[in-house]
Structure formats: C-alpha cells, structure tokens
Structure 1
Amino acid sequence: MGSAGQSASTEGRRLIALSREHDRLAAEARTAAERWMIASRTERHVAGSLAPLAAAGYTFLHDRAWPGSRSRAQIDHVLIGPGGVFILDTKAWAEVTIAGGRVFRGQLDVTDDFDGLADVAYGTEAVLAELGLAPGEVHVVIVLAGRDLRPTPIGTVTVVGERNAAAFIHAHGFRLTEAQIDTVVRATMDHFPVVAECSQSVDASVREPVLAAAEPEPLFEVEDITEILLAGLRAEPIEAWMAFLHPSQARLVRREFNGPSRIRGAAGTGKTVVGLHRAAYLARARPGRVLVTSYVKTLPTVLSALMARMAPEVGRRVEFAGVHAFANRLLKTRGIAVNLKPNEADLLFKAVWREFGIGGTLEQTDPDPDYWRDELSKVIKGRGLSTFEQYANLARTGRRRALGIDQRRAVWRMFTAYEKGLRARGIHDFDDQILLAEASLRATPCTDYSAVIIDEAQDLSCAMVRMLHLLVGDAPDGLTLIGDGQQSIYPGGFTLAEAGINIAGRGVVMSTNYRNTREIVEFAAHVIEGDQFTDIEGAIQTIDGIQEVPRTGPGPRTARFSSPRAHDAALGSVVRGLDGRWGDIGVLCATNWQVRDVKAALISSGIAVMDLAEYAGLPTNVVKVGTIKRAKGLEFRHVLVARVDPRLVGTEPGDDEALAIRRRELYVGMTRARDTLWVGVCP
C-alpha cells in the first residue's frame, strides 16, 4: 500500500512529462513548418522567376515525385521546352561559396548532396533515349534563391542564381521541335508522377486557423524579361541530329562496355554522330579528359566546332586532335625532340629506290615507287617491325600483291638503308613520330585521359592504334573504335589482334542508313560491287550490309565530258541549278591539283567557295571544295564529285590494289550526299 499523496505525485509528474513532450513536439512541428514554408516560398518565388519561359514554349511540371521512390521526396520543377529537359531543385541557402569544383554552406561541403539528382538525370536519360532524345539534352540545375550567381558547372550539375536561371535555360536555344517537345512532355509526365497527398490524419483539438492570402511579390522588370527572351534568340538553332537521334543511336551513346569496343557500319549509318554524342556523354560521366581523334587532320577541327554548339558545357573536357598532332604535342610536352623533315625523307627514299629498287626484283614486281614507299611506311614502320623475321612471317593485311621471300629480303634491304639514312641526317618521318610517342607512353604512362574515341579507325596504322590504346588500356568504356573497312582509302591495313586489342562481345554493327537516299546508296554501291577488303577484326568481307534506308529522293546523275575544261565549264551551271543555300553544297575531287582547278573555275563563274582545308565546321554560305579525303566524316545536302577517272565507273573492279583504293575513295565521296548526287566524269 503506497504512502499518502503518492498517486497524486505520480500523476503530476506524468502530466509534466507529457507537457514537456508536447512542447518538444510543438517545437519540432514549428521548425518543420518553418522549413516547409521557406521551401514553399522559395519554390513559388523561383517558379515565378522562371515564368517568362512559358512564353518561349516551355512546359512546367511542379512538385513531382522522385521516379521510383516511395518517400515523399520531390522534384521542385521539371521544365521541358526548346532547349531540352531541365530538372530543377531550389535552395534557400545563405553563405554559399563555390571553390575548387565544390559547393559549401558556410564551412560544410554539400557537393555530394547533389548525387541523388544526378542519378535522377541518369535514369531520365535512359527513359527519354527510348524516344531518341540525346543524353546531353537532360540537365540538372540547382537554383539558389535570391542569388545572382552565374551558371557554374559542378560535375554533371549546374548551380545558378535565381536571377540568372531563366536566361541560362533559354540560352540553350532551339534544339527541339514542337512535336518533339510534346513527345518528351508526355514521357516526362509519366516518369515524374504527381506527388501524392499525405494520407496521415492530423489529431487537432483546436480549430484550423484561417490564413490570409499571400501577397504577390514583384519579380522582374520589363528589362529583365526582355533579357531572358533574348538569351534564346542569341542561340542559333542546331542541326536536328544534335538533340534527337534514332532511339537505337541514343541507346548506343549510353551503352556500357567492360573494355575496348568497336562501332562499325556502312556509310551514312551515323557512326560519327554517335561518336560525338558518346564523347560528350563520357565527359559528363567521369573525371579526366576524353580524346577524339582521327587520321584526317581536318575532321577533329570540324567535330570540335560541332561539339561547341551541341554540348558547350563539356568544353575543355573533350579534346579533339588529329593523331599526328596528338603525338607531336605529347612528345613536345615530354621534352622528346622530333626533327620532322618530310621533304628530306621523301628525297632520301627516292635515292634509296634508285639504289635498291630500279633494275631489281622490286621494279619487276611493281615499277611504281609509291607502292614500295607505302610498303615501308604502312606495313613495316606502321607496325613498328624491327627484324626481318617479323616481316618475313607477316600476313601484310590490306596488301593484295603477294611477296615471296626474295622480294621481302629486297624490301628489307631498302628499308634498312632508308632508316640508316634518316639517322645519318638526324631527321624523322611521320612514322617515327608515332613510334616515338608509343615508346614514350610505354615507358611513362599518361593518366590524363579517361576515354579515347577513334573515328575512321580503319585509316590508322597499327602503331597509331597501339599508341592510343596505351592512354586508357582495357578500362571499361576506355577505347571506342569507330569505322567501316569499306571506307578504307589508304594503302596497307592491320588487325586489332596485331595491335593487342580484344573486342570480343563488344562490337556493334549499325545497319540503318540515316543520311543518304535509297537511290544514292544503290548508285554508290555499284562502284565497289565485288570489292573485298580485310576488316580490322580480321575477316575478309565485302560491303557492310545496310538493312534499311528510310529516305528516298531523285536519282544521282552522271555526266561525261571530253576534257577537264568542258567539265569545269559545266560545273558552275550545275551548282547554280541546285536548290537551297550554297553552304549546303560540297564539290569533291580526288587530288589537290583538281581542287585548285575546280575552285578557280567556280570563282570565275561568280560562285563563292571555301577550301575544305580551311573549313572549321561553322555555318557559312559558300560552296565547300576539297579532296574526298578531307570530306571523310562530313556530309552535305548536295554533293558534286568532280573530275572522276572513267576507269572508276562502269568497269569491273579487278585485282589492282591502287584502283580498288580509288574506287573506295569515290564511294566515300558519293556517300557524303544527303539528297542529291552529281558525278562528273572526264579523262
């Protein structure tokens, strides 16, 4: 039996404890309410600051649930419009600083808080890739309420002040059409569902207060809204393929490989487009730089300009360089002297040919010294062979003429004399440059690059590919080789096995032609009909199969002329008769001297021209004139292939290696055409 007053004391202590718990819960509720009210005011204010974008064609999705999440976490705003898809999170943070690629609230590093949103963007990319939206068109933006911060990239996220957010979004310009926006909006609404109302009941013994309506807050002056809308007008519309791909291409851009991979397919299947998007995607997804390279030295310049328009945010993260330019820069950075003297090297070879070739078994086999110059450059030095035994047992992939042991000994004597002459003169040729860079990377690896993409990989030598492979090794998604053996237009060749690269299970074939019309594809295919080549994977094959060509158009035209003069006189009339802008026209020739003559003929007829050697990928309304080699990887609405050798059309392919290469070169030139093709034939 308890003492007197014990029960009353217990009840009193219980009520005191209960009141304290109520006080604690009330304090927590007040704190939570303040946070929610701040978030509400912040989101409403930011939504208001973004309102001018509605006039620019943007659709707003507010307070959406995180995809796949069962929690009440939400995405503040999702905007879909001409500039792409923008996932916005608003922050009412004070004392925010950005330094060294990190974001701080006071002394607290909050950069990793953005990882969840980056994951949401990654999943959104995958969903929208099924429609064909390129991964780079999905953006995550952190908007700092009340701040005047310029857009600052932090990993895959952009942090921007509220007053600059709308202009930043609209500055992406016009990348999607109205139809594409509608398609993306429907998919995005499904991906980001509406936040469900809270189903938890509230136990309140007091009446709910009646709240006064919030006073509207002035957000922008007329000048501010004008600046936002002008931001979009300053950005020129980009080519359709920069934002919307075929779904199979968009998926390939994001595909993960556990080692070196290869993307191949016939001309027009979009290999270079996929490579460019993949470079941007990898640059966003990982640290380190991405190198995009090619044998054609002008192609990286054009691709760099396209990347600047397509994905300016990756900017310095993607490096474009011809393979020789890259090797030269690497050696210079490492202090390795290279004394390139190509003219002196050519004179040396001619002297060696006179001594070891003329009158001997090599001249009897082929009197053209260029054939043997290519043997030394592409077959021997292109593989870095150092002993005769290596050469004696070599399959010589890509060379059609079989050589016996006596012929190979003669070649090796000429090679050793040539190498001795180079060393005696203290000079190097371009093959030495590659071999020196490869040796340097083997001795001292470079860790600057996270990925390397090789466009037109079939045009490189074995040593070039080995050198580039050393930058990334067999890392997942490290090395991507893009190309088509049918478009190999240089002598020699190699296989990936020779380069020590294994792509088993990591090869992708693109089989739909998105560039050309069916008529152009069929016409160009006749030029190389029956031609066989050894692919870099080692298989002997004919043209890569094209399963589908969706587009049709007018049939290509062939005109034959009795002389180059008659041909050039007619060329100007053909150009003037084409629809559209002169900037959509490419006039392609086999040699530089043909380019010189054709340019002069067009200029004399009053047509503005630009040499492809000077073309940097920027829009310009002049006719582009250049060699087919310089046009690799490019495309034009109208293509005129000029001064074509009659032996390349209407005759059987035969076994002549040089003629076969020239036929493939003509095929490359023809397949640069999107809509119309004209071929001028003359002796």
Structure 2
Amino acid sequence: MANLVIASNSKGMSKLDGSVKNKVYDFFEKLNADDTSPKLHIEPMKKAVDPRVRTGRVDLYWRAILFRVDDKSGGTTYIYMGTWPHDDAIKLAERATLRVNPINGTLEGLIGEPPEVAADDSPPPTVATTEPEVSYLAGFGYSYADLAEGLGIDPALAERAMVAPDESALLEVAANGLEWEGSALLDLATGISIDTIRDKHGFTETPVDTTRDDDQQIIEALDRPASKMQFAFIEDDEELRRVIEGGDFAAWRTFLHPEQRKYVESDYGGAFRLSGGAGTGKTVVAIHRARRLARDNPGARIILTTFNATLAQGLKADLVALDPAVRVADKPGDVGVYVGGIDALGRAVLERARDVVAEAGERVLGSGATEFSARRTSGDTVWREVAQGVDSGLDPKLATPAFLESEYVAVVLANRITTLEQYAKVARPGRGVRLSRPARIAVWKLVEAFRRQSQMDETLSFPEVLALAAEALRIKTERGGTFLSDHVLVDEAQDLHAAHWALLRALVSEGANDLFIAEDSHQRIYGSPVILSRFGIKIVGRSRRLTLNYRTTAQNLHFAVSVLAGAEYTDLEQGEETTGEYRSARNGPAPELIPCVDIAEELDVVAAKVKQWLADDAVEPESIAVLTRSQDERDRIVRGLGERGVTARALDKSAPTPGQPLVLTMHRAKGMEFSRVVLAGADDKHVPSPATLRSVPEEERSEAMLRERSLLYVASSRARDALVVTWSGKKSELLGE
C-alpha cells in the first residue's frame, strides 16, 4: 500500500469541477490499493529534470502530476502536486522538481505555472525593477545574504524582495514564493531577527542528514515544521475525500503554520495562554489542540468552551469537520471532547452536582440559597428594580444595573462574600471606582435586596449559576472526588468575567496541559479586565503571541489596528499588549471611507455598494455583511436597503441564510468573517455608543471607551477582502484622521 502526500499549492486542483474531482478521488483510491496497476498509467518522463516525477491517468483528458519517493524503511510515497489537461501536465512535469532546501531542511516541490501562464514572466507592477536608494527590507538592516544564505530563500526571490520599495510590494513578492518563503518574508517585514524567524519556522543548524540517500532525506524533510505548510500526509480515504471535495488544499484543516503547529503539539507544565490579533488563527490552534489531546489519550475528558453558544456551535462544527472520527461528549465529564458555551457549561456542571448544590449555595449566596431548580435570568431587570426601589443612599451614578452587576460578579461572587463584614474588608483590585465604607454599606444593601428578590422570584442570574457550579466542584474535590476534566481549552477568553474563571479553575486540577487559553485583549468587548493569578491560574512564563493575520488584507488590517492607536491595553496578567508585530499575508484594495450628508444619502451609498458586489458572480451574497452599532440601526438598514431594491436579512441569534446579504450588529459579528463588509453609521451619534457611556460611572469611562474601540476593531477585522466605512454628519472620533 502506497503512502499519499498532498501539496497545499496544488494549483491544478481548485479549478476542477466536481466530476473531475471525483475522478481524482477514484484515482487516489486505486493508487492507494495498488500503485502498480497498469490502469493508472503512472509513467516516468523521458525529458524530466527530476527523475522522481510521474504522471498518472485520471481520465483520457486529465493527468495527475506526482513525485515517487522510495524509502527503504517506509515503502513508496507519492507526493501529489495537482491535475492538469494532458498536454499541460506533460510539459509541467518535465520541469517539476522536488528537493530538500540545503540551508533549512524544508522540502520544496516546484511545479511552476501552466504553460500559458508561465509565458508571461513580466514582474508584478507594484515591484520595483531597479533598487531604490534604501529598499523596504534594507531599511530594517537586512541584506541579500540574510535572505538567501541565512534563511534559504530562493536567490531570485530574495533579489526581488530586496528591491521591493514598500510593504505592499513586498507582499506581492511573498505571494509568489513557496508557503514558507512567503511566511518568512512577512516576518522580515516586521523587522525581527533572522534567528527568530528560523526558530519560528523550525529551521535547524544541521537541516539534513547527508549520509542518507536522496529519497530518505526527502521523507525526513517531510516531517519538518515548514514542510508541513506545503505537504500533508493523508491518513485515510475519508480525509482524502474531504480535502478533495473542499477544493482548498491550503485549508486550515490540513495545513498549519509551523508556529501554530508548535502550540498544537507542545506539552506545557501548567496553564498556557496564546494571544494574537484578529484572524491570526488562535481558534484554529485550539481546535487542532483539542483533537490532538483526544488522539493522544482516547480516554481523556476534554472541555472546549468559549464565550457564548453561537461561537460554541462554530467550534463544534469545525472540530467535526477537522476530524469526523473525534469523539464528541454529550456532557462535561464524559470521555471525549465536550463543546459548549461557558454559561451552558455551568448549567451542565450543576446538573451533575445536584447533591451538593444547596451546600454550595450556602457558601456562595448565604443562608436560604436558591435551589438548582430555579429559573436562570440575566439579572439586569432585577438590578434595575432594586436600584429604583431601595433607598440605599448610594450615589445615583453608581446605582445602575451596569455598575452593580459588575461589582457583584467581580468582587462579591469572585470572593464568595455572604456578609457585610466580608464585603467591607475585601480588596477590590481593578475596580475603577473607589468605595468608602458608607458606600460599601449602601452597595451591600442593594446586594441583599437583589438576593432576596431573586429568592422570591426563584431565579438565579447567569453569574450566580457559574459561581454555584464552581463551588460545587470545589466541594466534591475537597471530599476526595475527581476533577471533572483532564484538559480545558478556552477560546475568546478575553471576554470572560470572574465567575467564568472560577469555574474553569475548578474544572481541572493544576498540572500538565490543564488549561489552554486563547485570547486577544484588543478584542475585549464585554466586562472588565481580570488577573488570572487571582483565580489560581498561573501563566507567567507560559504565554505566547501569534502575529500573522490569515483573514484580513494588509490594507484592512492597517485600518483596524489604527482604531486602537493611542489606547493602552493590558493582558490577563496586566502586561502591556501591543500590535507592533501584526501583519497580514494578503494584499488588497484600500478601505473606502465615505462621508454622507444625511442618513438617506448613506443608505443610498450602502445599497449601491451592496448591489455592486452582488453583480460579481464570484461573490456569494451571504459573504456580504453590513455591520451596525445597535439593533435599531440594524433594522433601519434592512428597511432602507429593501426600499432601494436590496433584499437583506437581519441576523440575530440564528445562522446565516444562504443567498442573502446580512445585516447584523458589531457584537453579533464577533467570531465571524465575511468577504466584503460595510461598517455603517460610523458617526459620532452611534460610535461610541452614547447610551453605553452614560450607563457607566465617570471613573470607568476610560475602560468603557476601550471596549468601544475594541468593538470597532472587531468589526473592521471581519472583512477578508473589501472594507467600506460610511457615516452621515460628523464621523466618529474613533476613526482617527
């Protein structure tokens, strides 16, 4: 039985229609069963540059190009490079090469372009043909020798990179290199050291064992991290069919950047934090890591959770798409991977711990705690009624649902406070508003009223459910019970509050690979910052950052990052967060910023732009999104578009409907991506939200403004290709100059 490896740059595959892809799959099945079958017509090339190259008959018109590698210990391996029409395949195969890079040990498969494309060898228009006084990379202090001899980049590509006058031109050069070469050039664009780039890509000082024959060296090189950016072993027929039917051989399901793969495969002595900007692949790493842990230990109990149910549904779908054979657990604590939103996780934990819920309630909520059978509620309505109905003496600026809820979660529930005496003494680090003793007494009156009202209504707020679940788990482990999980992985962790972290810590014992945390402090649009060490989660020395954006073009990324300019962000240990090394792997059009006289003109502009995109047959309607700051604005946009002949759907909690552009709030767009995006209503009346800022005390206004910036950053970074920003009247101050 032959081994099959597929190259990510199989350029002859994505253009094939479904019937041909099915024939390619049949060809692979026969190849896997018996590569000596004469029906396959796997033939060497008389004029080939590389003696390993073969072509195989897919049908009378189509031929596959492969390299045959014979390893004495592992048998025959075929490396598939793509499928082309017969005559093109023969010409391409004759000059195709497979080699191990002598400098960095990476396997390189060079197939070139189809003859009609290869004939046009003119340089990209944005790349300088003569070297400027100081080129872009030379400005960082790099030389041709750094690229060609230090990293092993192809000499011709290195020459073109060294004369690129700016970052955009360098991106054009990077797009024409092998996967690892493009990645290394993007790293160079940030000015980091050659040694750092070598480390990130897994290059070694002794890249290949030259005592082995050429075929053995190739098999060895296949296992190098940078090689896995281009080549992937296909383990079974089901995986093969998924890759072929997907039509994208560079899909995240199969190919990872060496840096991403390192965080998937590494073991850590405790909790680990992976941060990174929007589109850098943190979620991809978390999903691959969950699968890896499940494969390493089929009996492991793994929890993969995130901020809400919508995002969790996406995680589960992607996990199953990555590996349909992965065991998905129905409940936390079962063998397999349980995937769910963190609030649902808290409820499920309480369901398993019903026998100690009453005791947990006594510890967390005080005497007369509500039973688990109570209904769950957001708590906002109760806080509003309490603030209006109880004469507490608290400053009216603080007697708001927003402040009281955050104080209750971050201080009262986080510290399991049940009495005024405890509350009067507890430290409140990270809280923007300082409270005198009289103010604390006033707050406690409202807390007691809130708890009494909840008891009468037989309700529990969502944070109370989480706090009870965490305490129930503590009680069980105190009495010798086992922890509910072996590994916990958390995505979108920047938006979790204190009760969430208390639950996560209680789910798994402190130890190897206990908690894997994926987050981006720049995308925190809910709640207040937390410090993980206060919850017994220690990540000092075990924290890394991804910087390469795979989703957004360089132009759109620059705009999104500019929204954050001038603001100071901190991570989950209060360390400074920076966007200095963020970069994109793709070029594209500059974002369009369109001022409008009034709302009617803005609606005309948005409708015209959506119609223009819909006229492009290559653009799927559901890949077009209009994002707004509020639900009222969302609904107004939907009506306005309808009046102008554009049928669009307002998206709330439901899944997108194929065939229609979408209109949704910036909050709802979290975790999603679209080909083309309009940010509508980016004026000073909507962004930042005046209503949101009015609801917070003056001392917390700066924190609220950070969340508003983060929200606009999240919205801006949803666009893969085109981004349009519109406003009527005065534009938002967050858009900058």
For the superposition of Structure 1 and Structure 2, which TM-score range results when normalised by the shorter chain?
0.5 to 0.7
- Which residue of 2 is the match for residue 375 of structure 1? 407
Take 1:436 and 1:44, find their aligned partners in 2: how far apart are those partners?
54
Q: Which amino acid aligns with 1:283?
A: A
Take 2:669 and 2:416, find their aligned partners in 1: how far apart are those partners?
29
Local SS of the residue matching 1:242? coil
- Which residue of 1 is the match for residue 122 of structure 2? none
- Which residue of 2 is the match for residue 531 of structure 1? 567
Q: Is the 8 A contact 2:674 2:720 kept in 1?
A: yes
CA RMSD of aligned residues (A): 3.7
Alpha-carbon deviations, 1:388-416, whole Å to 9, x = none? 56555666455433333332332222112
- Which residue of 1 is the match for residue 309 of structure 2? 297
Local SS of the residue matching 1:464? helix
Alpha-carbon deviations, 1:129-157, whole Å to 9, x = none? 3234499x54556xxxxxxxxxxxxxxxx
Give the fraction of aligned pairs with identical amino acids, expressed as a percent: 27
Q: Is the 8 A contact 1:378 1:493 kept in 2?
A: no
- Which residue of 2 is the match for residue 636 of structure 1? 674
Take 1:650 and 1:320, find their aligned partners in 2: how far apart are those partners?
34
Q: Is the 8 A contact 2:634 2:650 kept in 1?
A: no
- Structure 1's unaligned 5+ residue stretches are 1-42, 66-73, 84-119, 142-166, 175-232
1:419 deviation in Å?
A: 1.3
Pair 78,428 (structure 1): closer, same or farther in 2 beyond 3 Å: same
Local SS of the residue matching 1:258? coil
Q: Is the 8 A contact 1:396 1:492 kept in 2?
A: no
Local SS of the residue matching 2:252? helix
Q: Which amino acid aligns with 1:643?
A: G
- Which residue of 2 is the match for residue 275 of structure 1? 286
Answer yes or no: is 1:668 the counterpart of 2:717.
Answer: no
Q: Is the 8 A contact 2:264 2:285 kept in 1?
A: yes
Answer yes or no: is 1:420 the counterpart of 2:452.
Answer: yes
Q: Which runs of structure 2 are paired with 1:232-631 in the superposition (5 Å)?
A: 233=245, 237=248, 240-287=251-298, 288-316=300-328, 317-335=336-354, 337-342=372-377, 345-356=379-390, 360-363=393-396, 365-366=397-398, 368-381=400-413, 384-388=416-420, 391-392=423-424, 396=428, 399-444=431-476, 449-539=485-575, 541=576, 543-561=578-596, 563-578=598-613, 580-604=619-643, 605-609=645-649, 611=651, 613-615=653-655, 620-631=658-669
1:256 deviation in Å?
A: 1.8
Answer yes or no: is 1:129 the counterpart of 2:225.
Answer: yes
Pair 298,44 (structure 1): closer, same or farther in 2 beyond 3 Å: closer
Q: Is the 8 A contact 1:272 1:633 kept in 2?
A: no
Alpha-carbon deviations, 1:431-482, whole Å to 9, x = none? 1111121122223356564322111111111221221233222232221011
Q: Is the 8 A contact 2:648 2:663 kept in 1?
A: no
Q: Is the 8 A contact 1:561 1:567 kept in 2?
A: yes
Take 2:590 and 2:33, find their aligned partners in 1: how far apart are those partners?
58
Take 1:537 and 1:607, find their aligned partners in 2: how far apart are those partners?
46
Alpha-carbon deviations, 1:364-389, whole Å to 9, x = none? x4465433333324543355444556
Pair 304,458 (structure 1): closer, same or farther in 2 beyond 3 Å: same
Q: Is the 8 A contact 1:639 1:672 kept in 2?
A: yes
1:422 deviation in Å?
A: 1.4
Q: Which amino acid aligns with 1:606?
A: V
Q: Is the 8 A contact 1:133 1:250 kept in 2?
A: no
1:277 deviation in Å?
A: 2.0
1:171 to 230, 241, 244: 241
- Which residue of 2 is the match for residue 33 of structure 1? none
Pair 505,374 (structure 1): closer, same or farther in 2 beyond 3 Å: closer
Q: Is the 8 A contact 2:629 2:687 kept in 1?
A: no
Local SS of the residue matching 2:340? strand
- Structure 2's unaligned 5+ residue stretches are 1-30, 43-55, 59-63, 83-215, 329-335, 358-371, 730-737
Q: Is the 8 A contact 1:517 1:553 kept in 2?
A: yes
Pair 624,649 (structure 1): closer, same or farther in 2 beyond 3 Å: closer
Pair 63,659 (structure 1): closer, same or farther in 2 beyond 3 Å: closer
Local SS of the residue matching 2:533? coil
Pair 598,61 (structure 1): closer, same or farther in 2 beyond 3 Å: same
Q: TM-score, normalised by structure 2?
A: 0.61
Q: Is the 8 A contact 1:384 1:463 kept in 2?
A: no
Q: Is the 8 A contact 2:629 2:686 kept in 1?
A: no
